Structures are given as C-alpha cells and as structure tokens.
Amino acid sequence: MDEHMKRRLDKQKKLFGQLGIGLDALTIHEKEFSMKLRGYDPEEVDLFLDSVIKDYERFYATIADLMDKWQEQQLELRELKVEVRSVTPTVKGIDPKMLEESILKLEMNVKQLKEKLFLTEEHQ
C-alpha cells in the first residue's frame, strides 16, 4: 500500500473513531473469514464488501467535507462576532434594539423630508 493511501486510511480511521464508528475501509478490506463446509461464496462476499468499502469511502469524503465547511463557518461566525462587537456602542445603558428603532425612525423622517422637498420643488 502506498504512503498516500496509508495516510488517507489513517485519517479515516481516526475520524471514524472520534465519531464512534467502529469500521473503516481498511478494517473491512482486511477482514478474513474462516471457511466452513457449505459456507458463503468467497467471491460474492468479496464483491459485497468491496461495495461496502466504496460506501465508507464516500461517507468519509462527505463527513470530511462537511467538517471542513463547519470549521469555515465557525471562523466566519467568530469574525462576525468580533465585527459586531466593534460596531456595537460601548456606552452602557443603550439598548441595541432601541438604537435600531431610532435609526429606522430617522431614516423614515429623512425620506419624508425628501418627499416634501420634492413636492415643494415641483410646485415652484
């Protein structure tokens, strides 16, 4: 087995272990079954296990991708929290909701003034 594949399977085993998943692709691949009279067809078992291994590979890729995206989201969230803290008023006693309402009222007043100015200019 090449070094790249070994590292990949080691990462998979570690991640699955953290998630409480007991099997990984390598464990499934290396599983040996004893032969008994009237046992299962070894080729049929191997084919089935190969499909299980492919599913585990897909599970691993999906989980790793989702974890990467989750970590990116956590970093973005931290950055946004820092950003919000930097623009939040530092004066104690100011309610952010009240501040937002005041800003909305001011914006409405500005809009009304603009409309009045526009109407006044039209009549001149």
Q: What is the pLDDT of residues 57-98, one digit of tens each?
A: 888 889 988 988 999 999 988 888 887 777 765 556 677 788
**Summary mean pLDDT of the chain:** 82
> pLDDT by residue (tens digit) across 45-58?
899 999 999 998 88
Choose among 14, 36, 33: nearest CA to 25.
14
Instruction: Answer yes or no: is pLDDT of 120 > 60.
Output: no
Q: Which residues contact 13 (CB under 8 A, 6 or more apart)?
A: 24, 26, 27
Show the tokens assigned to 12.
């998979």
Which whole number is the average pLDDT over 21-33?
Answer: 84
Looking at residue 91, what is its pLDDT?
Answer: 57
Instruction: Give 12's contacts (C-beta < 8 A, 6+ positions apart).
Output: 24, 25, 26, 56, 57, 60
CA angle, corner 13, sides to 78 and 35, nearest 5? Answer: 160
Question: Does the reported pTM lie above 0.75?
Answer: no
